[in-house]
Structure 1
Amino acid sequence: MITLTGGRTTRMQDAIRILMLLDAAAEPLAEAPTEPALSTAVGVVRTQIRLQKLDFWVRNPDYLANELLNDFENGDRDPTLLMLAEQILDSEEPELRRYPMLRYLFGAYEQLDDALAILRQADLVVRRLRGAPGHITQHDYYLLEQGRAKVSETAQKYPALDWYSARSKLVVALADGIGATQLKDRQYLQEEYLNTPHGFRIPSITDRARNRLSDLRLDGTIKDVG
């Protein structure tokens, strides 16, 4: 059984998280693939950048909550956004379920080959590369029928792991209509993220996000919304 504690992840944790994220983020296929290995594909996530950026928000609840506050303040002040941010920041989730990622050339990055190998071996996910050897232009991640079924089965057997699914759905909703490059640019707006040297892990912004929430409470914003 997997325990949800902050820090470094295991290969199996990565596999489960990525499977549930792909299940939440996969777009329906425009046409049935002709390749036999993809005959049971039910959806696809296109580009590694998009998958990594979505994964960053799943792995970093503090940054996710901060983005929810951004959308709340910059939009129509939807109370649901505020409620979701409060649920995260008023709990120990930022400490217990935060898995830092490296700052790389295109932003937050973590090696996913081991996790994807587990998913492929179990016939849950297939990754396909576009381009030529030495010049890969795109990664496509296909979710298979068995993968979608495994997500449902896992949620029923291990309720604690359904957190991954719930957070994945929230992250995908937050990123709705935003392209991979826009996601990257949005995450770069956070100074801690932007200023992390390449090859180092992106630091937490939990204290800043909680202080921001406190300020909203002090100025009466939350009471007015409620």
Structure 2
Amino acid sequence: MVATPGDGDPFFDAVRLLLLLEAAATEPDLRTPEVVPADAVGVVRTQTLLQKLDFWLRYPDYLADELLTEYERSGEAVLLDIAAEILNSDEPELRQIPMLRYKFGAYEPLDMPMSVLSVAGLAVVRWSRTEQRVRHYDYYLTARGRATAQSCVADFPELAWYGERTRLVVALAQGTGSTGTALRKRQYLQRDYAGTGLNEEIASIAERARRRLRASRAAAGVSAS
């Protein structure tokens, strides 16, 4: 069996995060050349944003449930269709990569996978700190990192799902408040997420999301098949 990102190997976690960085990165601020790496082509600002995007990537059921929320708000049928594609498959069971709930929501240490990317010249981490703690992280994607992410998806079919899904996750985030703080607040609106104990694994909501999907499709007059 071909291993995929999230099988517990830091290399695969690094691949998943690289694809997420490539999808989510925005233009770096070149007015601060002393901070921005010379070969940077994009940046994801704050660890909170990266963690919250990664949560939706790792929990397809939560992602689908958010798509249903957006469908109910906007009435865009394509959102209902995408949620159905996810929930009518075994994707929520097969693709889930569990995360723990920390004091600021879903969390997993990024040091090891980001070290893999940094050593390979694919990404650079910059941070600012006070005397007591690191205050802020920026994750820069390099030109080599972007080329590698694009070639991974093109050359390895088993990674195509991650390439497509990172784009969906980022599109949802951009449409609903794409700062880390905004996504954290939105994810805490999920009662199962918010009710998870500190340092406990966030459980699946697949069955609840499937019931919601059936109700939404019935209300829209769409066949359940």
TM-score computed with the length of structure 1 as normaliser: 0.92
In structure 1, the partner of 2:136 is 138
Indicate if the aligned counterparts of 1:4 and 1:97 stay in contact, CA closer than 8 A.
no
Query: Helix, strand or coil: the match of 2:64?
Result: helix
State which of 92, 95, 98 in structure 1 corresponds to 2:96: 98
In structure 1, the partner of 2:209 is 209
Cα gap change, 1:2 to 1:147, in 2 (>3 Å): farther
In structure 2, the partner of 1:64 is 63
Residue identity in the other structure for 2:110: L
1:24 aligns with 2:23: yes
Structure 2 unaligned residues grouped into runs of 5+: none
Name the stretch that deviates more: 136-145 or 173-182.
Answer: 173-182
How far, CA to CA, are the matches of 2:85 and 2:178 in structure 1?
24
Query: Helix, strand or coil: the match of 1:197?
Result: coil
How far, CA to CA, are the matches of 2:7 and 2:196 in structure 1?
18
1:149 aligns with 2:134: no
Following superposition, the deviation at residue 199 of structure 1 comes to: 0.4
Residue identity in the other structure for 1:219: A
Written as runs of structure 1 = structure 2, the 5 A alignment for 1:7-22 is: 9-22=8-21
Query: Helix, strand or coil: the match of 1:162?
Result: helix
Query: Helix, strand or coil: the match of 1:154?
Result: helix
1:181 aligns with 2:181: yes
In structure 1, the partner of 2:54 is 55
In structure 2, the partner of 1:222 is 222
Indicate if the aligned counterparts of 1:68 and 1:85 stay in contact, CA closer than 8 A.
yes
Query: Helix, strand or coil: the match of 2:41?
Result: strand
In structure 2, the partner of 1:86 is 84
Indicate if the aligned counterparts of 2:100 and 2:107 stay in contact, CA closer than 8 A.
yes
Please list the CA deviations of residues 24-67 of structure 1 after superposition, one character each: whole Å capped at 9, or x if unmatched: 11011231653498111001000100000000000000000000
Q: Percent identity?
A: 46
Query: Helix, strand or coil: the match of 2:222?
Result: helix
How far, CA to CA, are the matches of 1:84 and 1:30 in structure 2?
34
Following superposition, the deviation at residue 85 of structure 1 comes to: 0.5
Indicate if the aligned counterparts of 1:61 and 1:94 stay in contact, CA closer than 8 A.
yes
How far, CA to CA, are the matches of 2:148 and 2:120 in structure 1?
10
Cα gap change, 1:31 to 1:98, in 2 (>3 Å): same
How far, CA to CA, are the matches of 1:32 and 1:48 in structure 2?
22
Following superposition, the deviation at residue 194 of structure 1 comes to: 0.4
Residue identity in the other structure for 2:71: F
Indicate if the aligned counterparts of 1:123 and 1:144 stay in contact, CA closer than 8 A.
yes
Following superposition, the deviation at residue 20 of structure 1 comes to: 0.4
Task: Give the aligned CA root-mean-square deviation in angstroms.
Answer: 1.9
Following superposition, the deviation at residue 133 of structure 1 comes to: 4.6
Query: Helix, strand or coil: the match of 2:140?
Result: strand
Indicate if the aligned counterparts of 2:127 and 2:134 stay in contact, CA closer than 8 A.
yes
How far, CA to CA, are the matches of 2:130 and 2:167 in structure 1?
33
Indicate if the aligned counterparts of 2:121 and 2:144 stay in contact, CA closer than 8 A.
yes
Cα gap change, 1:190 to 1:221, in 2 (>3 Å): farther
Residue identity in the other structure for 1:28: E
How far, CA to CA, are the matches of 1:193 and 1:204 in structure 2?
9
Please list the CA deviations of residues 112-167 of structure 1 after superposition, one character each: whole Å capped at 9, or x if unmatched: 11100100010000001112353211000000000000011111210110211111
Structure 1 unaligned residues grouped into runs of 5+: none
In structure 2, the partner of 1:194 is 194
